Amino acid sequence: MRFEVHILGCGAALPLPGRNPTAQVVNVHEKQFLFDCGEGTQIALRHGRIRLMRIDHVAISHLHGDHYLGLFGLLSTFSLLGRSRALNLYGPPELEALVLAHERAGESVRGYPLHFKSTQTDAPEVLFEDGSVSLESFPVRHRIPTTGFLLREKPKEPGVKRDWIRKLDLTLTEILALKRGEDVHRADGTAVLNVQACRVPLPPRSYAFAADTRYWEKVSEWVEGVSLLYHEATFDASMKERATKTFHSTATQAARIAERAGVGQLVIGHVSARYENADALLEEAQAVFPNTIAASDGLVVQVGFIPVKN
Amino acid sequence: MRFEVHILGCGAALPLPGRNPTAQVVNVHEKQFLFDCGEGTQIALRHGRIRLMRIDHVAISHLHGDHYLGLFGLLSTFSLLGRSRALNLYGPPELEALVLAHERAGESVRGYPLHFKSTQTDAPEVLFEDGSVSLESFPVRHRIPTTGFLLREKPKEPGVKRDWIRKLDLTLTEILALKRGEDVHRADGTAVLNVQACRVPLPPRSYAFAADTRYWEKVSEWVEGVSLLYHEATFDASMKERATKTFHSTATQAARIAERAGVGQLVIGHVSARYENADALLEEAQAVFPNTIAASDGLVVQVGFIPVKN
């Protein structure tokens, strides 16, 4: 099953050519979740050949312009393209009023229902779940109320191997027992051992987007053991004071959170416009947490099956 | 003196790669006026190597997303870049509240004063003037309240030729008389003829942006005799009904307005995403008004000294 993060933009507050503001679209089991929606995201989606109409969930971390100003154009484009399917929007409470204010100003009629669920910054919260995935928000520490988002695959039940079902002519009752982890003892004295008859399911994968945040150890609890963590790294270690003051993180701090949380892989983004590229920040982070990569516009990262520490 | 229109975006409601939504920056005598500011305008400004801080006037025609959603990011970028000089913003009354709502949501502090002047759709109105240029709004007919904008050079006084001043040792009184158009009769019986001693000033140039509008003959009165007219041409003539219904114009209608108004040159834009390029629309307009060009993202049009019909 697909689980990949397509980075549409990973720049910081100042948008520059080739450095779009923050947005990622995550495809998990062919469901598309858009995390943040900076100015120009709809164009970045088209550049990435992502089918806009497949996006059913948009989650906004906070109301700084570089994280949400592309939303209003995208919502309008959905209507122009004839969308009728409902869209789920998650974000700070003020976001809904802004959406409605823009619609009122343009006297525009949305062609589809918008289900808005406001986020809070007290504790992690499940925003959405279905049979195979769940979406949670978790608080981070930024200048204004901000949440990260965590997308998890649900654990899969162990499946009974098809050839064993056929070979042993297993009954439904026997199959269900095996799925529950039991061994089956038959009337003829033979036994079907769960450990032999069942496939071990792949471990569930997870992706966390820690948005804009200063270094906050609590974040490592919220994202503990995720397969892939996107953590901002606006500054290098020499600018730690400025990072704290502006409620941002250094590359070292991002890597420390990844290490504390025991994540599979770290991707750093939201690099300040003062850096020509992320090379130095990447090196800095890798010194603390080697399995780190740098985000770049257009990069697609597969969420891997990296064993969770425990 | 420079007078040029840099087209940053000329697409219609649906932004596509390479077809930015509406925005033009006009440099008149090194003063920069931004007309409309669709999503992505700040990136287009950087692509065009236009110095953002030189923009002191932003005029928004109406509150459809493709004409103003880039404004909030641009205003924030001004602050990030350390702007302290005041910015003049012109647009529909609701625009100011939207700006303030976004600033409130982000708890952001603007580093510079914003002077907002709301536009109205009853009659043309001077929004700004200084010694050398004036900016007017004029009503057009669109689905929601919309104005066009007209930027005019002020007529220059005739100047007395330098070599005549030197040769005849003209006094200040004599120079002022010549500038007023008078001939000078000296005590020694000689005369200095205005027609000989003065340079004929270049005629004032003007640029009108007719925004989004259905065909409305009144527009040709507002923009009568302008050097360059930007008129929308969303559809071709075969879609006249749809144009009327959606309060847009066909290429033929744009050309008719240009012809009625006796403008120097017409540039058509806001071409619907249904057309791969503007070729057919351009041909259609040129059949009515030959001196027509098609807008394209990045195009810079010089506002020419084309004699005004009268």
Secondary structure (H, E, C), B197-211:
HEECCCCCCEEEECC
DSSP class of A237:
G
Distance CA B3, CA B29 (A): 6
Which residue's entry shows tokens 């200063």? A214
Candidates A43, A69, A104; nearest CB to B73: A69
Q: Could you give the 3-state DSSP secondary structure of residue A124?
A: coil
Beta-carbon count within 10 A of B286 CB: 17
Taking the Cβ of residue A53 and every Cβ of chain B, the question of whether any pair is shorter than 8 Å is answered with: no
In-domain check, residue B259: yes
Distance CA B79, CA B20 (A): 24
Domain range for A97 is: 3-156+202-302
CA A46 to chain B, closest CA, distance in angstroms equals 7
- Residues A166, A282, single domain; the answer is no
Beta bridge partners of B128: B135
- Residues B33, B126, single domain; the answer is yes
Distance CA A228, CA B12 (A): 39
DSSP class of B284:
H
- Residues B138, B28, single domain; the answer is yes
In-domain check, residue B171: yes
Alpha-carbon separation of residue A83 from A16, A78, A79, B14, B215 (angstroms): 31, 5, 5, 14, 30
Torsion, Cα A240 A241 A247 A251, to 10 degrees, reads -10
Choose from A102, A121, A144 for mutation: most chain B CBs within 10 A.
A102
In-domain check, residue A275: yes
pLDDT at A134: 98
- A92-132 pLDDT, tens per residue? 999 999 999 999 999 999 999 999 999 999 999 999 999 99
pLDDT at A142 over 50: yes
In-domain check, residue A193: yes
Asked if B257 contacts B220 with a C-beta cutoff of 8 angstroms, the reply is yes
H or E element in which residue A283 lies: helix A279-288
Instruction: Collect all residues of chain A within an 8 Å Cβ-Cβ radius of residue B91.
Output: none
In-domain check, residue B308: no
ipTM of the complex: 0.89
Candidates B94, B101, B108; nearest CB to A98: B101
pLDDT class for A306, splitting at 50, 70, 90? Answer: low
pLDDT at A156 over 90: no
- Portion of chain A with pLDDT greater than 90, in percent: 88
Instruction: Say which CATH number the domain at A64 has.
Output: 3.60.15.10
Taking the Cβ of residue B114 and every Cβ of chain A, the question of whether any pair is shorter than 8 Å is answered with: no
- Residues A97, A28, single domain; the answer is yes
Tell how strand B228-232 and strand B265-269 pair up.
parallel
Q: How many CA atoms lie within 13 A of B201 on its CB side?
A: 15
- Residues B92, B174, single domain; the answer is no
- A259-298 pLDDT, tens per residue? 999 999 999 999 999 999 999 999 999 999 999 999 999 9
Which residues of chain B, if any, have pLDDT below 50?
308-310
- Residues B175, B290, single domain; the answer is no
The mean of the pLDDT values for chain A is 95
Q: Which of B179, B199, B219 is the last residue of a domain?
A: B199
Which residue's entry shows tokens 């925004």? B211
pLDDT at A307: 52
The domain tally of chain B equals 2
Taking the Cβ of residue B70 and every Cβ of chain A, the question of whether any pair is shorter than 8 Å is answered with: yes
Taking the Cβ of residue A246 and every Cβ of chain B, the question of whether any pair is shorter than 8 Å is answered with: no
Asked if B51 contacts B78 with a C-beta cutoff of 8 angstroms, the reply is no
pLDDT at B157: 81
Taking the Cβ of residue A156 and every Cβ of chain B, the question of whether any pair is shorter than 8 Å is answered with: no
- Residues A109, A191, single domain; the answer is no
- Residues A126, A185, single domain; the answer is no
Instruction: Collect all residues of chain A within an 8 Å Cβ-Cβ radius of residue B76.
Output: 13, 65
In-domain check, residue B309: no
- Contact between A43 and B106 using a beta-carbon 8 Å cutoff: no
- Residues A216, A246, single domain; the answer is yes
**Burial class of residue B173 in the structure, from the number of CB atoms within 10 Å of its CB (0-12 exposed, 13-18 middle, 19+ buried):** exposed
Q: Which are the catalytic amino acids of B?
A: 66
Say what the pTM is: 0.91
Beta bridge partners of B32: B27, B55
Q: Which of A199, A226, A259 is the last residue of a domain?
A: A199
- Residues A195, A91, single domain; the answer is no
- Residues B97, B232, single domain; the answer is yes
Output the CA angle A33-A35-A40, nearest 5 degrees: 110
pLDDT at B16: 85
Taking the Cβ of residue B202 and every Cβ of chain A, the question of whether any pair is shorter than 8 Å is answered with: no
Candidates A17, A81, A105; nearest CB to B94: A105
- A6-43 pLDDT, tens per residue? 999 999 988 888 899 999 999 999 999 999 999 999 99
pLDDT class for A310, splitting at 50, 70, 90? Answer: very low
Beta-carbon count within 10 A of B304 CB: 13
DSSP-derived secondary structure for B244-260? HHTT--BHHHHHHHHHH
pLDDT at A192 over 60: yes
In-domain check, residue B307: no
- Contact between B14 and A72 using a beta-carbon 8 Å cutoff: no
- Residues A66, A104, single domain; the answer is yes
